[in-house]
Structure 1
Amino acid sequence: MSRTQPSNRPSNRQDVQYVTLHGHRRAYVKVGEGPVVLLLHGLGCDHTTWAPVIDTLARRYTVIAPDLLGHGRSAKPRADYSVGGYANAMRDLLTVLGIDRATVVGHSFGGGVAMQFAYQFPERTERLMLVASGGLGPEVTPAIRAITTPGFHQVMGLLTLPGVRHAGKVGLRALSHAPCSYTRDLDEVAEIYDSFKDSSARHAIRHVVRAVVDWRGQIVTMADRAYLTEAMPMAVVWGEQDRVIPVRHAGNAGSFAPYARVEVIPNAGHFPHKDHPQRFVRIVNEFIRSTQPATYSRDRFRRLLRDGHAGGAGEAAEAAETAEIATVTALPSA
């Protein structure tokens, strides 16, 4: 059972609305009219990471930007924080909102959720766009791997005591303005760090990370199922100066899914939609304008599953280790 509060009337502002699904409150923003675009944020973030692009996208599309369970204003229960669980939750949210199909855009961890959604519910996925996404290679910043270590919860509890947290946020924001590509995303990191003051948020994030990362890096990959993207338009967007997930993973995507469009944005980090919002919107518009929504065919899906990847998952994974950025879709600079 579910209930919404308040009503889901269209809004020209990024007002947060709520729906209760399976006993847990989920926050989301819904704005605009037209074809549906579902925006999925990354680890430790919330719908506000999309704030620079939501209003512009809403001129052409119905934009849905939820706070994933365990994040933002959504509930943070002891629950299923797997990518499959998140994909199920997005299907249920769209169903409650009366939406059958969407172009799914996922950033970082949200990219992993987007891929899982497209895999589990191809009949409800029109297109897939991955933004600095997880699931395209093992490498990830040590800061995320550290979340899986014993004692993280207790140490972060001390580091988020009021005085310490304030000093840490000020320091991170100051460093984000330094003329150095290694510090460009620290303003966003400051917001994630601040969210860890909530004990339930720390527990949720730890469960999320442990489901997809171990001490060696990412453990969830799309390599063995990337051949299924043959039946669906796919685009990959990355910041050239990403220090969280290496930009070469964009090349991995081109190797896994040769039909994918790959766009690498110069002078952008792990949040290219925030670094260059106008260019990001143009990329989304061009992707949607120039592609037809995927049409689900059970026979075609069966054939793809039966035939599998010609080289197998092992070959795809090996190619990912050495892949460089092979395809760049050139669009005008911002």
Structure 2
Amino acid sequence: MSDTPHEVQYLTLHGHRRAFVKAGQGPVVLLLHGLGCDHTTWEPVIDSLAKRYTVIAPDILGHGLSDKPRADYSVGGYANGMRDLLTVLGIDKVTVVGHSFGGGVAMQFAYQFPERTERLILVASGGLGPEVSHGIRAITTPGFHQVMGVLTLPGVRHLGMAGLRALSTTSWKHTRDLDEVAEIYNSFKDPHARHAIRHVVRAVVDWRGQIVTMADRAYLTEEMPMCVVWGRDDKVIPVRHASNAAALAPNARVEVIPNAGHFPHKDHPHRFAKIVNEFIRTTQPAVYSRARFRNLLKHGPVPVPVLAPVTEIEAG
């Protein structure tokens, strides 16, 4: 898979510049990155997916090359932003793929705009249980902005990034994702990025863990194909949340990839692209029915007595 950077395009929406990558042709796949990341987290899979699909990979507001204003950083606000971006691009419907915090945005997008969502793919997603790493919780604490301002001074930052990258090359599964953590750490050198990310985290996490959940609305995905992908060795959001997804949405397809951490699309890009291709190929896009949606809302969820099976696949 190619890691060659793709051309970044820009659009201004509501007075704020949004950066995004667009590649390929065919049905549209919208890739939503996680907290502190940007579209480059998808670079290992963009070219492969672009052979069959039109791939849209934005830098969500407050991240990457997009503006970082004082703005609405709620999951609902992000879902609205994705709708507006797609509308300007002339795109009506998408298969939405969300990683980590981007998974929460993907779920919110599917909930707010079911008429525009064909399928939902969640990758090590937030919103499926309260547990989250202590590092994410630390962002919500008083003084984070000031402390990170010191830790991202040039000499300190370069030393810290070098240490994280060195640890990521070891065979220890607990340090697998530290190369990506180094990039997130580097992004904190921008005080506007720190402010934006703090607002994002405070909207979805408190000292006890995640506060935004799909549990009470998962039944609305009954008519929408849904796939959940997780790395077996995820240390940011525990892999048991994949079973939570299976219980909340019994028709969901769940794939747990061995020897992968919080970024399975980077640990095993070939396998990840194959999962996405197979899922799209073997499912029909959701067809929105207002009457059906109204009926689901009126009657609420049906209790689910057993967990759906979780499939573990060998990654090559």
Q: When the two structures are superposed, what TM-score results if normalisation uses the length of structure 2? A: 0.97
1:94 is matched with which residue: 83, 86, 94?
86
Q: Is contact 1:227–1:308 with CA below 8 Å preserved after alignment?
A: yes
Correspondence list, 1:100-139, <5 A? 100-139=92-131
Distance 1:202 1:151 in 2: 12
Distance 1:182 1:230 in 2: 35
The residue aligned with 1:223 is 215
Give the CA RMSD over aligned residues. Answer: 1.4
Aligned-pair CA distance for 1:329:
3.8
Distance 2:218 2:32 in 1: 20
1:69 is matched with which residue: 61, 66, 85?
61
Structure 2 unpaired stretches of 5+: none
The residue aligned with 1:183 is 175
Match of 2:96, SS? strand
Alignment partner of 1:53 is 2:41 = no
Aligned-pair CA distance for 1:178:
1.4
Distance 1:203 1:261 in 2: 36
Match of 2:66, SS? coil
Aligned-pair CA distance for 1:327:
1.9
The residue aligned with 2:238 is 246
Aligned-pair CA distance for 1:231:
1.0
Q: Is contact 1:125–1:294 with CA below 8 Å preserved after alignment?
A: yes
Distance 2:313 2:282 in 1: 13
Alignment partner of 1:146 is 2:149 = no
**Count of aligned pairs between the two proteins:** 313
Correspondence list, 1:296-307, <5 A? 296-307=288-299
2:286 is matched with which residue: 284, 294, 300?
294
**Would the alpha carbon gap of residues 270 and 230 (structure 1) be closer, same or farther in structure 2, given more than 3 Å must change?**
same
The residue aligned with 1:259 is 251
Alignment partner of 1:173 is 2:165 = yes
Structure 1 unpaired stretches of 5+: 1-11
- Kindly report structure 1 stretches of 4+ aligned residues shifted beyond 6 Å: none
The residue aligned with 2:309 is 327
The residue aligned with 1:274 is 266
Deviations 1:136-178 (A, max 9, x none): 0000000000000000000000000000000000000001111
Q: Alignment identity in percent?
A: 79
Alignment partner of 1:237 is 2:229 = yes
